[in-house]
Amino acid sequence: MKITLKDGSVKEYQEAKSVYEIALDISEGLARVACAGEVNGEVVDLRNIVDSDCELNILTANDEKGLAALRHTTSHVLAEAVKRLYPNAKLAIGPSIDTGFYYDFEAEPFSREDLDKLEAEMKRIIKEGHKLERFTLPREEAIKFMEEKGEPYKVELIRDLPKDAEISFYDQGEFVDLCAGPHLMSTKNIKAFKLISSSGAYWRGKSENAMLQRIYGTAFNKKEELAAYLEHLEDIKKRDHNKLGREMELFTTVDVIGQGLPLLMPKGVRMLQTLQRWIEDEEEKRGYMRTKTPLMAKSDLYKISGHWDHYKEGMFVLGDEQKDKEVFALRPMTCPFQYYVYKASQKSYRDLPCRYGETSTLFRNEDSGEMHGLTRVRQFTISEGHLIVRPDQMVEEFKGCLALAKYCLETLGLEEDVTYHLSKWDSENKEKYIGEPEVWEETQQHIRDILNDLNIKFTEDVGEAAFYGPKVDINAKNVYGKEDTMITIQWDALLAEQFDMYYIDENGDKKRPYIIHRTSMGCYERTLAWLIEKYAGLFPTWLCPEQVRVLPISEKYSDYANKINEELKKNGVYSEVDNRSEKIGYKIREARLAKVPYMLVVGQKEEEEGLVSVRSRYLGDEGQKSLPTFIDDICREIRTKEIRKIEVES
């Protein structure tokens, strides 16, 4: 048989060989660092037997898929350590993930001290150097095997496998786990790992299931790589909006108010006001008309839209349909309300497109396990809009919505951090959607063509569409790697029919319009979280809740400092005065900790000559300027929404 390697060279063998044996034949060094193999594009275990012509790539920890095998093996070592120290713990699942691995257990919560003990035990297991041996069992024997070990979650996993599935296990000495692999040849090949944290996690991600304990960890081939990653994690902790946003007094939460109901504090509100005014002004420039609609509606409205059938569990319902004459629900979206704004007067083809925009407060009954800081909450505000258009206008208006979204991202400095997704319906589960298959396929192709025409790179996600139409989701990851949708633009060729929306065409006939559901910047709270993490609190000046702090070097110059502050405020600059009886060095440090972009130090010389001494996070000591010059400079920076490079803080 002929084995074609990654570099194009060919190895010939008379008999079948394992991937590991082929790696050993290439070089002992390669065999030592091999983690898995890739045969004709499929990742396989090193123990996999190759018995015919193929293309083979030997994967090491330098390859993403090879590193995944190393991390998966480390998760098995963690599971063995847990069973050694906590014999009554039950095993669930332990996959590799982008940042490392995790393993879920039915057990008491794990403390940091517990994780340290588990790390020590894992090091002992690795030192013992057990070989990992793969074996398979028939379905009933596999079930009996795990039942005898008292592992109910493994039994459930086996029962859920297809009837023709091969059920494989890995034995590493005294520990055996149900697993498809691939794995390293021995535990001694694990060189560098760390247990990061633990948290609760529902079995199979469903709140109706048991709450398990999840341990997160990571592993690398080299200690230097692990050290660099741990340093990265420390930076992440500094950027975590849930921590930094509270420290900066942008928002807080209170148990008696409720989970997912954050309190925006004055500084946070100021930032959201800045964003909201900018968005509303920008939308007006682009032809949007503003609406203001109720925060709740009768269930009748949601029954017309289809939300009552498809989304009721995600809504806050007020009343009981069995007892009450009228049942209301807090709105999870604004679209049906704006449809009735459209329907309030008859429209002709000349009136379209109608672009409606609203800064909408919405309510969604998120699962308690999903909520986090400002990124996923139960009440939030969104830059929502709906465009009612003629079919022949749909493509250009959809492009206009994408252009607005890209403008917002670029202005905020976030464009490089996002990915674009065509969220499609799942044709295998048609009952989740309204409309005919040909409508879905046609609209999805329109969006695909638009993205290609605009040279926007995108991926296609099956099953992520709303129940009434496909969409473009613009996603970003938080500092921990979790991806959320930031902006959505949706093609809807169906709901106009449900709401009997029409326009009069040039022939005097009634025609159904199309609808674009879109956000320009998305959810304000989620965007604030994103900005906190992106800039580690060092926001562009135009977004800062405090843009200038005036620092008199002693109480004698407080009056001059107050006059400067008044002049700044007259020009729309957010400024404060630090009149405390503290040394100027202390005041400067405090202003830096508060992440204020500009400090104006004033003393005798500045007062006599009408100057200010400027210190900034951008250039440090910028020297003395006249107050009018400084005001001109900062107002221009704010007006143009400039994102300056930070050179003196990190």
Q: How far apart are the first and last CA of the chain?
A: 57
- Alpha-carbon distance of 573 to 107, in angstroms, equals 55
Q: Could you tell me whether strands 503-504 and 317-318 are parallel, antiparallel, or unpaired per DSSP bridges?
A: unpaired
Is 122 in contact with 78 (CB distance < 8 Å)? yes
Reported CATH class of domain 2-60: alpha beta
Q: What is the pLDDT of residue 650?
A: 43
For tokens 């349909």, the residue is 321
Question: Left if phi > 0, otherwise alpha if psi is -120 to 50, otherwise beta: which for 435?
Answer: left
- Alpha-carbon distance of 160 to 636, in angstroms, equals 63
Strands of the 296-298 sheet, one edge to the other: 296-298, 328-330, 317-318
Query: Encoding tokens for residue 250?
Result: 């942008």
More confident site: 90 or 207: 90
Q: Could you tell me whether strands 54-60 and 2-5 are parallel, antiparallel, or unpaired per DSSP bridges?
A: parallel
Reported CATH class of domain 257-293+334-535: alpha beta
Query: Encoding tokens for residue 494?
Result: 């169906």
Q: Where are the beta strands (DSSP E) in 237-353?
A: 251-252, 263-264, 289-290, 296-298, 317-318, 328-330
- Alpha-carbon distance of 501 to 492, in angstroms, equals 13
Domain ranges in the chain with CATH number 3.30.980.10? 65-239
Calculate the CA 388 to chain-centre distance: 30
Is 34 in contact with 44 (CB distance < 8 Å)? no
Is 135 in contact with 169 (CB distance < 8 Å)? yes
For tokens 């065509």, the residue is 422
Q: How many C-beta neighbours within 10 Å does residue 536 have?
A: 18
Say yes or no to pLDDT of 364 above 80: yes
pLDDT bracket for residue 164 (50, 70, 90): confident
Domain ranges in the chain with CATH number 3.10.20.30? 2-60
- Alpha-carbon distance of 105 to 83, in angstroms, equals 10
Calculate the CA 99 to chain-centre distance: 14
Helix orientation angle between 394-412 and 437-453, rounded to the nearest 10 degrees: 50
Using the Cα atoms of residue 640, residue 643, residue 649 and residue 650 in order, give the sign of their dihedral: positive
In 3D space, the residue among 565, 648, 525, 621 whose CA is nearest the CA of residue 242 turns out to be 525
Query: Encoding tokens for residue 107?
Result: 């057990």
Going by the annotation, the residues of the binding site for Zn(2+) are 335, 386, 517
How far is residue 419 from each of residues 8, 293, 524, measured CA to CA in Å?
A: 34, 32, 19
CATH tag, 65-239: 3.30.980.10
How far is residue 188 from each of residues 32, 117, 124, 172, 433, measured CA to CA in Å?
A: 11, 19, 10, 11, 51
Domain ranges in the chain with CATH number 3.30.930.10? 257-293+334-535
Q: What is the pTM of this model?
A: 0.80
Q: Residues of the chain with pLDDT > 90: what percent?
A: 80
Say which CATH topology domain 541-640 has. Answer: Rossmann fold (3.40.50)
Going by the annotation, the residues of the binding site are 335, 386, 517
Q: Where are the beta strands (DSSP E) in 154-236?
A: 167-171, 176-178, 192-202, 211-220
Cis peptide before 353 (omega within 30 of 0): yes
Say yes or no to pLDDT of 648 above 60: no
CA angle 307, 309, 315 (to 5 degrees): 55
For tokens 């990124």, the residue is 375
Q: What is the mean pLDDT of the chain?
A: 93
Query: Encoding tokens for residue 301?
Result: 């409205």
- Alpha-carbon distance of 70 to 624, in angstroms, equals 58
Torsion angles phi and psi, residue 317, rounded to 5 = -95, 135
Number of H helices, E strands in the chain: 20, 35
Dihedral of CA atoms 74, 77, 79, 84 in degrees, nearest 10, equals -160
For tokens 């760390």, the residue is 194
Longest dimension (CA), the chain: 95
Could you report the per-residue pLDDT of 250-272, keeping only the tens digit for each?
Answer: 999 999 999 999 999 999 999 99
State the average pLDDT over residues 556-585: 96
Amino acid letter at 565?
Answer: N
- Alpha-carbon distance of 494 to 504, in angstroms, equals 18
Question: Left if phi > 0, otherwise alpha if psi is -120 to 50, otherwise beta: which for 614?
Answer: beta
Name the DSSP class of 344.
Answer: T
For the ranges 200-209, 429-438, 504-513, 641-650, the lowest mean pLDDT is seen at: 641-650
In 3D space, the residue among 430, 451, 186, 166 whose CA is nearest the CA of residue 310 turns out to be 430
